[in-house]
Amino acid sequence: MHAYRMTAAGTARMVELPAPRPGPGQVLLQVRAAGICHSDLHVLDAPAAMWEPPFTLGHEICGTVTATGDGADPELVGRQVVVHAPYGCGECSRCRAGATNDCDRRRSLPAGLGLGVDGGMADEIVVDAARLVGADGLDPAEAAALTDAGLTSYRAVTGSAAHLAEPGAVAVVIGVGGLGHMAIGILRARTGAHVVAVDTREEALELARACGAQTACRPDEAAAAVASASEGRGADVVLDFVAAQATLDGAGPLLRIAGELVLVGGAGGVLAVRKPGPLPSGASLRLPFWGSYDELVETVALARQGGIRARTTTYPLSEVTRALEDLRAGRVLGRAVLVP
């Protein structure tokens, strides 16, 4: 089978591998869709010591079960599923509660399938049956995008629920890409907050409006937009899906006193936290990572109810290099997803 593998630091290519076989408690999936995340670019750009290749990339996976190993329910065969891909030790209290994303051994373990261990940019993949969430009837590309772009945004938004429940709350979404456009949908479905979306690309601002953002503007217009939406108070929550130096420098001044800054992006900017400093007094800071199994179930349920929908741009698996180039160049709208 074909698999797109990180073969050395900074290098990934399509290789031919033997078909995998499910072990005990595992299933074999024929991959229907594998999302491409900006994190895949960060992985390929990272210094040599950060990752241990070789492994197959792809941490957003939708597939059809084609075989089951010993102990996995044979009735799963034929079902379309998505995969909860964060990797954990399986033994700590977080893992036992399905929150492998917050595993106590996170520092010493691979981050997830496709992020240190084999992922879904392949014809087939073997995964533990316990990772599966049913996705029958959903568009495979949209379903794949729910597992990280959707799930990470779901946790990022719901973790700030108390701030977002303030009367007249304003939420700022910085970066309307794969994750940010899902976050806008989740904010609109789950909170009453006025959403101010910020991006440097005009087409991303149009997508933000289509996803329900009441205001969509360029970074240099954000301060005025937030002041106007909040009657001068500032944003209750700023969600930074970029976290480059420019967005971090701009985020603090947008926040309301005792507001919350949520850093999701990994673009390498540095936030200087001190008192007094760039964040207003009383502010809190969160750095959520991905989401739990139960949160993925809730994210998929929200999509089924029509509360959110991933916008996708699909590419054949054989054109993964072109898709990655498009993502890097800012030519992807919504989520880029590889399909067979």
Point out which residues bind ligand NAD (CB under 6 A): 37-39, 42, 148, 152, 174-180, 198-201, 204, 219, 241-242, 244, 246-247, 264-267, 288-290, 327, 330
Helices (H), 211-330: 222-229, 245-254, 293-304, 320-328
Phi, psi (degrees; rounded to nearest 5) at 196:
-105, 115
With contact defined as beta carbons under 8 Å apart, do 85 and 146 qualify?
no
Question: Which residue number, 67 or 111, has a Cβ lying nearer to Zn ion?
Answer: 111
CB 41 → Zn ion: shortest distance, Å?
A: 10
Tokens of 321: 């290099």
Q: Which of residues 29-48 bind Zn ion (CB under 5 A)?
A: 37, 39
* 335-339 and 312-316 strand pairing: parallel
Residue of 95, 193, 283, 327 interacting with Zn ion (CB under 5 A): 95
Stretches 61-69, 100-108, 186-194, 307-315: which one binds Zn ion (CB under 5 A)? 100-108
CB 104 → Zn ion: shortest distance, Å?
A: 5
| DSSP notation for 75-138 | GGTT-EEEE--B---S-SHHHHTT-GGG-TTGGGS--EETBEE--SSBSEEEEEGGGEEE-TTS
Question: Which entry of ligand NAD, Zn ion, none binds 85, CB below 5 to 8 A by partner kind?
Answer: none
With contact defined as beta carbons under 8 Å apart, do 13 and 7 qualify?
yes
**Beta partners for 194?**
170
Question: Which residue number, 266 or 278, has a Cβ lying nearer to ligand NAD?
Answer: 266
Stretches 2-10, 81-89, 158-166, 298-306: which one binds Zn ion (CB under 5 A)? 81-89
Q: Which of residues 117-156 bind Zn ion (CB under 5 A)?
A: 148
Residue nearest to ligand NAD (CB): 177
| Chain centroid to CA 98 | 17
Question: Which residue number, 175 or 252, has a Cβ lying nearer to ligand NAD?
Answer: 175
Residue of 88, 119, 175, 252 interacting with Zn ion (CB under 5 A): 88
Nearest alpha carbon to residue 34 among 67, 59, 11, 54: 59
Question: Which residue number, 148 or 236, has a Cβ lying nearer to Zn ion?
Answer: 148
* Binding region for Zn ion (CB under 5 A): 37, 39, 88-89, 92, 95, 103, 148
